[in-house]
Homo-oligomer: A and B are copies of this chain.
């Protein structure tokens, strides 16, 4: 086939639902998630740049746009599975890579294969752009959990997801972004009227950090 096959496969990501199997008041698909991650990255990339960091914008946007494309092949495997053992995590990563490789070789026109290999590889590296991807990805998990708790979802999974995402956000080595999130954004978050006590859930983590 060719790039037409690649383009139609994008549509599949509109049907991969995040956090499958849990009760949610609102579901999110991986395509829309990828877009929101790009938006968060645009903002925090700007913030970092204003504070003197050099941003490779092409790399940043390609990382955010492509970071979950591999879910076309493997779906949204549940997080506890992924973290069940380091060997499994590594093996799943390996399978993902192999399936991506096979897809690129069989569907992408030869002259584009090099570029695709480069773009589709794991984006969360130690570069500023890799960290911004990690930050933006976690921020979307934070917001997904927040929206459920706000609407009254009492499933402990979302309490846990909210607190885990918060903890991880506070530890990402991007001091400017983390400070802005912690000092400016969290103030607005905990000021919202919510069904679940967001203030306490949030402070419990901040105090531990």
Query: Residues of A at under 8 Å CB distance from B?
Result: 1-8, 10-17, 20-23, 25-26, 28-29, 31-32, 34-36, 38-40, 42-43, 46-47, 50, 57-58, 61-62, 65, 71-78, 80-81, 84-85, 87-88, 91-92, 95, 98-99, 109, 111-112, 115, 119, 139, 143, 147, 150-154, 156, 184-185, 188-189, 192-195
Q: Report the separation of the CA atoms of residues A126 and B4 in the bound assembly, to the nearest whole angstrom.
A: 27
With contacts A31-B31, A32-B32, A65-B42 taken as known, whether A81 is within 8 angstroms of B95 at the C-beta atoms is yes
Query: 22 A-B Cβ contacts within 8 A?
Result: A2-B188, A3-B185, A7-B185, A11-B143, A12-B22, A17-B20, A20-B20, A20-B75, A21-B75, A23-B26, A31-B36, A38-B61, A42-B62, A42-B119, A46-B112, A46-B115, A61-B61, A74-B81, A77-B77, A80-B99, A84-B95, A87-B91
